[in-house]
Amino acid sequence: MKRSRINDIMAAADEMIRHYGFVLPPFAYWSPDEFKAKASIARRVIEGRCGWDITDYGQGRFDDLGLFLFTLRNGSLADLQRGGGMCYAEKLLISRQDQLSPMHTHVIKAEDIINRGGATLVVELFGSDDHGNFAADRGGLVRCDGIDRPYKPGDKLKLAPGESVTLMPGDWHAFWGEGGDVLIGEVSTVNDDVTDNVFREPIGRFAEIDEDVAPTHLLVSDYEKWL
């Protein structure tokens, strides 16, 4: 993805987030130079990979296959493993109309996916085989706003603003906006986007960046290189 496109997506996303009554934390608006200067005091932000995340899954078709994310807070895997401490994470996402976030699951993370505003969020569901692999012939059980709901393979949940679904490890899912763009909330156990995303198809998690202009703000995938 061109850095200029990423900058434009950031600006549009910030506008949409504010439209629905949310404001990003101060570190969201640091320039790259400010981030470098504050890196020592922002250690937990950097280690938790909190911040801007815009991906086309390495396929170069962001409008069709892509996702905007901002990780607001993220706990510690060590805390999760010992069963105490900061074991949670929170994100905001934007799924554009008919923009696919492809079929995937997680090994560790359980997550609530919440329609925070906009159009309808469609979540397509499949179950796992006995080894956790995608199973086209298996369904499962999810919780929608506190109510358990069985799903058949390929069922498509349609979540209106305010509605949510809880997805456990092994619930294979893809999602997109229907009828318009959707602001999504995600509340989960500790988030690890480097190792805990298992895609049905062999695609990448992060975009490859064409540095045609300077970044307005750093992506989480920039931290290792820039900081």
Phi-psi region of 35 (alpha: psi -120 to 50; beta: other; left: phi over 0): alpha
Each residue's pLDDT tens digit, 165-185: 999 999 999 999 999 999 999
**226 CA to centre of own chain:** 22
Where do we find the tokens 């909190």? 50
Q: What is the mean pLDDT of residues 121-145?
A: 97
Each residue's pLDDT tens digit, 70-123: 999 999 999 999 999 999 999 999 999 999 999 999 999 999 999 999 999 999
What's the confidence (pLDDT) of residue 218? 98
Confidence band for 132, pLDDT divided at 50, 70 and 90:
very high
**How many angstroms separate the CA atoms of 32 and 226, rounded?**
8
Domains of the chain in sequence order:
3-226 (2.60.120.10)
Rg of the chain taking only CA atoms, in angstroms: 17
Confidence band for 189, pLDDT divided at 50, 70 and 90:
very high
What proportion of the chain, given as a percentage, has pLDDT over 90?
Answer: 99
What's the confidence (pLDDT) of residue 208? 93
**CB neighbourhood size of 195 (10 A):** 11
Where do we find the tokens 């603003």? 161
Confidence band for 42, pLDDT divided at 50, 70 and 90:
very high
Average per-residue pLDDT for the chain: 97
Each residue's pLDDT tens digit, 200-217: 998 989 999 999 999 999
What's the confidence (pLDDT) of residue 102? 97
What's the confidence (pLDDT) of residue 135? 97
Q: What is the mean pLDDT of residues 43-58?
A: 97
